[in-house]
Chains A and B, each alone.
Chain A
Amino acid sequence: MFVVIVGCGRVGSTVAKSMLSDGHDVSVIDEDPEAIALLEKGQDRSWEELGGSFTVGTALEIDALLEAGIERADAFVVSTDGDNTNLVIAQVAQRRFEVPQVVVRVLDPARAKWYREQGLATICPTQTAIELLEEAVRGGAGDRREAA
């Protein structure tokens, strides 16, 4: 599978490394040329020597997406730090480039929910955190007043 990942922060870079070590082809885009350091952290060879590719550019630049290979991508992962950027570029990947699988990170639960209802595969870490925190509290030690 050929995976294009936009946004090389903690999330994007980790997904990129694990997809590459699973044997997939991986191409990463970030506007910061230094971001490649995250892909090479803890590795003894460069990202490109490991078989990955890296393109410098912002997500809304069609040229950067083309250079990264969006036209032949089987999967497209969007995880920059801007929700609106992510939602626009995910729709561009889906509608214009017809990438079969598009996954997009959206921090705001409200936008994540509405766009999911419109058919976009949104992942909302905030919502996940809310649910896990609530679950942890509910399943925890219980009420000290009751114990007393």
Chain B
Amino acid sequence: MYVLIVGAGKVGWNLARELLHRGHEVTVVESDRGRYATVEEELGHSVQSGDGSELWVLERAGIERADMVVAVTGDDEDNILISQVGREKYGVERIIARCNNPRNFQHFELLGVKPVVSATDLILRLIEHEVPKYGPLHLLDLHQERLEIIELDVDEGSAAAGARVEDVGLPDGALVISILREGMGFVPTGESVINAGDEVLLVLDPGLEESVTGYFTSAAGTRAA
């Protein structure tokens, strides 16, 4: 696979090295001369100097035959533009873009750039995961498919605690897809019993999160924290 990476910062450089180790053909484009020189010492001819939002620089780097373009500069507008011309002008089928500021995510989405990776957003999700009682953890939002996957802790005294999955009375459009107990997970049937202390994964139609959360939290428990 030929991968064109724009931006030889920490992300771009390490990604290039890993992909090269896996036997892929890689070109990294970096606009900063000093940074280029540093990376070139290790990666040699796999790195090119130039502004990756200039079309001729992308063409020189072989964007027309790239199987994948990874736009990971520190500027969101540059990443959006590179992704947009990569897909729409040069017909690259696989694009991955980095979103530095989560507030700019809406612009990536509006202009059809996806998938988008945001380190800030990933760390935020991990924080939500690590801090108990923060609320349901969004594991995955499938915007296009209009589905959400969330993770919830099952509280003592909640409607779900001690009940069989089929007896919890979840609304249509909500499905328990996994129960995590003592470090192990399993896919439940309707007859599986949910215990207090379990974590459950659910797939939901959009908008059901709030009503579904109520089945797994006890009115007394959650607010105290």
Show the binding face of A for B, using Cβ within 8 Å.
60-62, 82-85, 87-88, 91-92, 95-96, 108, 110-111, 114, 118
Contacts and interface: CB of A to CB of B under 8 A. Distances in A.
Contact of B81 (A88, A92, A96): A88
Contact of A85 (B77, B103, B106): B77
Interface in B72-129: 75-78, 80-81, 85, 88-89, 103-104, 106-107, 110-111
B186 interface: no
A60 B104 contact: yes
Contacts of A88: 77, 80-81, 107, 111
A139 B104 CA distance: 48
B54 interface: yes
Dominant secondary structure at the B interface:
helix
Chain B, interface size category, equals 10 to 19
A95 B104 CA distance: 15
A32 B104 CA distance: 20
A82 B103 contact: no
Contacts of B107: 60, 88, 92
Contacts of A91: 110-111
A17 to B, nearest CB: 27
Contacts of A96: 110
Give the 5 A-B CB pairs with smallest separation, nearest first: A84-B77, A84-B81, A110-B55, A85-B77, A88-B77
Contact of B110 (A85, A87, A95): A95
B71 to A, nearest CB: 11
A82 B53 CA distance: 11
Contacts of B81: 84, 87-88, 111
B134 interface: no
